[in-house]
Structure 1
Amino acid sequence: MTRSVAVVIPAYNEAGTVADVVRVGLTLTPEVVVASDGSADDTAAVARGAGAQVVELTRNVGKGPALYAALEAARAEYVVMLDADLTGLTTGHLHTLLQPVLTGGLDMSIGVFEGGGFVTDWGNKLTPHLSGQRACRRDWLLAVPHLAEERWPEPAITAHLKETGARWDYVELPQVAQVVKEKKRGFWQGATARTRMYADLLTYRVRKKR
């Protein structure tokens, strides 16, 4: 890459998948930053062992604060934001996210899954604006209001895109998927976590108007 790029990965209890995501990130850039969001497992150690710079939050405060911590630790001009539970990720997917931004065509690209699996494809296509796979300038993302306060930062990012008139679009990430919460935590605990996540995500506007 001729311009400085960092990969930032907020992670909470993702010891089983974070190393693979880190290794793909390192094929793009040596600056891969994982923020472990108060993980109770070996996420931090596994990410560090895979070659990432690791920021460890002392307690679980949410994806937004973890993302902000990773962005502050990074130094590159551009960032690729990735979830820590991805499967099927390749260097080509990272280039797909980055190129529209590096060439000046977009201010932000947002990745949506295609062909990675029914559950994650369906969820991603139903609410593509909630995707955690993105590329943009680091300073733009750091300037998103409430980013460090929101447990789930995607609605705050979407609101800032609209408020600033930024140019953005979706790009397809073929064969990429996520390990669903029900598989990671067991059905009932995973389903409860998913319900809470969507409730928090979808009530962002209401909460900010109070």
Structure 2
Amino acid sequence: MTAPASPDSAPLGPAQVAVVIPAFNEADTVAEVVRVGLTLTPEVVVVSDGSTDGTAAAAREAGARVLELAENGGKGPALKAALEHTEAEFVVMLDADLVGLTREHLDLLLTPVLNGSLDMTIGVFEGGGFVSDWGNKLTPHLSGQRACRRTWLLAVPRLGEERWPEPPITDALKSTGVRWDYVELPYVAQVVKEKKRGFWKGAQARTKMYADLLTYRARKKRDGS
């Protein structure tokens, strides 16, 4: 895992809930995601994963605690760094490129975990836009919107080794037998890669992402884990 380059401060003391947001070059959207997170808890941790734009500054100005990684290592290492930078019992994980997010969406994710009816919730978009809805519903197990206990997530094998943490989390959900379910997040969407980076660069980034996801099993088998 890439070593952190410049954490804003030492981790805070124990808190019940933290919002954790891995972010790579999401300066246009991360501040609003942070602001919504702060309506739930004062502990919002953003990990800037080697960003080269104003992501860290925007998150910091919005009120997040920001950890800056020197190099882009992927969402998995960034998520693990965020989890290690808080002592909260529960975490809500959010992508940094969400639009339409509200406090009510965070409650939909967190409430079943807090009341003990589920061990993890996974958010799926509904009504936020055709592209976001279609992509999220086609592969709901890849959603980055989740809530669970921090200690369980930290114990997921390969969490910080994989560029995308969702496949290891899916494996852990199956192997540990925890209770989980999808919850709909009405009118939330993500800014698609093609819009953020331009069509060709966005398409290349998407292709690379899916290639990495599809080769997860091979890497796991190769490493004997």
Question: Structure 1: which 5+ runs fail to align?
Answer: none
- The alignment yields a C-alpha RMSD, in angstroms, of 0.8
Residue 37, structure 1, aligned to residue 49, structure 2 = yes
In the TM superposition, 1:157-168 aligns within 5 A as 157-168=169-180
How far apart are the structure 2 equivalents of 1:41 and 1:94?
27
TM-score with structure 2 setting the length: 0.91
Aligned residues: 208
Runs of 4+ displaced beyond 6 Å: none
TM-score with structure 1 setting the length: 0.98
Give the C-alpha shift of residue 202 in structure 1.
2.3
How far apart are the structure 2 equivalents of 1:182 and 1:107?
34
- Residue 152 (structure 1) aligns with: 164
Give the C-alpha shift of residue 163 in structure 1.
0.8
- Deviations for 1:103-139, whole angstroms, at most 9, x for unmatched residues? 1111100000000000010000000000000000000
- Residue 65 (structure 1) aligns with: 77
- Deviations for 1:37-59, whole angstroms, at most 9, x for unmatched residues? 00000100110000000010000
Letter in 1 for 2:39: T
Residue 56, structure 1, aligned to residue 56, structure 2 = no
Percent of aligned pairs sharing the same letter? 79
Question: Structure 2: which 5+ runs fail to align?
Answer: 1-14
Give the C-alpha shift of residue 206 in structure 1.
2.4
Letter in 1 for 2:42: P
- Residue 138 (structure 1) aligns with: 150
Letter in 2 for 1:36: S
Give the C-alpha shift of residue 203 in structure 1.
2.2
Give the C-alpha shift of residue 207 in structure 1.
1.9
Residue 78, structure 1, aligned to residue 90, structure 2 = yes
- Residue 207 (structure 1) aligns with: 219
